[in-house]
Amino acid sequence: MRDIILILDGAIRLEADCQTLVTYYDRLLAAPTLDVSRATLDFQAAYYAYRDYVAKKAEIASLADMVTQCRELLATGQTIGNFDKTFSYRVFHEIILNNTLMPAINSNGGE
């Protein structure tokens, strides 16, 4: 998700690399599911926080809208999206407000 945030930061300033945004978004949605029933409680907590994070990011409509616009641009051969700065900021803001993964990772000593 850090990569998506960096792309959105660029979109707020100038423009977004649509191919990279679409690639990372698709990877996020394709995040693997695991059976963690036999894992430690700490690992289970981190895994469920991770799955919750993926679900919440997939539900951010403005991010999905931006990715859809990027897909349309890519279909026409364009790779850079010039998005309205207010729109880009809203997507960025929603992701930051909805960020549940980093606290889960940090609480388990990760980065």
Tell me the domain boundaries of the chain: 2-107
Cβ–Cβ < 8 Å for 17, 97 = no
pTM of the shown model:
0.61
pLDDT of residue 6: 54
- Residue 27 tokens read as 């990877």
**What is the tens place of the pLDDT at every residue in 1-46?**
555 655 555 555 557 788 888 988 888 788 788 899 999 998 888 8
